[in-house]
Amino acid sequence: MSGQHASPQSKREHLIEVVLQASRENSTTAVFFHASMADRMGLGATEEKTLSLLDRFGPLTAGEIASQTGLTTPSVTSLLDRLESKGMARRVRDPHDRRRVIVEPDPERMAELNQMFYSVQATFQDLLTVYSDEQLETIADFLTRSVQRSQEFIATLQEKDEA
């Protein structure tokens, strides 16, 4: 009989474990999903996600890209070289500060990339229709806080690299 009724704490521990495992599986699947989508455009996953950052934030410096991604400066330089050689982005002088170089995506190539992702996004939008507003608020809170926590980890890694 004791095995039939789990205590509230053990149920909570189980739910936390389920969420952590699902998050891990989601993360792994997301990496492979983006790698697969990027491959169709002749890109690597890091290149595709960097273009996503440029699409969301607008032109960024190499340093800002390093800060957003957690990549080292030499890795960002190599990444930008690849994006330029593929015609996906270009380095240009900042019109407000000619000493600064910014990276901007090619609008036509970004439109191609976005077209691929918009069709997928519609599928996820359909998935969300089954959740109540309160559940959507909880999901959004979890995802937002997960992103913040990941960004904190990236910053910590960068600080260790700089030390």
Domain ranges of the chain: 8-130
DSSP string, 55-113: HHH-SB-HHHHHHHH---HHHHHHHHHHHHHTTSEEEEEETTEEEEEEEEE-HHHHHHH
Q: What pTM value is reported for the model? A: 0.77
> Rounded to an integer, what distance in angstroms lies between the CA atom of residue 47 and that of residue 31?
12
> Rounded to an integer, what distance in angstroms lies between the CA atom of residue 151 and that of residue 132?
28
pLDDT at residue 49, rounded to an integer: 93
Count of positions (residues) in the chain: 163
pLDDT at residue 118, rounded to an integer: 84
State residue 21 phi and psi, 5-degree precision: -65, -45
Domain 8-130 has CATH 1.10.10.10: yes
pLDDT at residue 1, rounded to an integer: 47
Residue 154 class from Cβ within 10 Å (0-12 exposed, 13-18 middle, 19+ buried)? middle
Question: In a structure prediction context, what are the per-residue pLDDT tens digits for the chain, which is 163 residues long?
Answer: 455 565 667 999 999 999 999 999 999 999 999 899 899 889 999 999 999 999 999 999 999 999 899 898 899 999 999 999 999 999 999 888 888 999 999 999 999 888 888 888 888 888 999 999 999 999 999 999 999 999 898 888 878 777 7
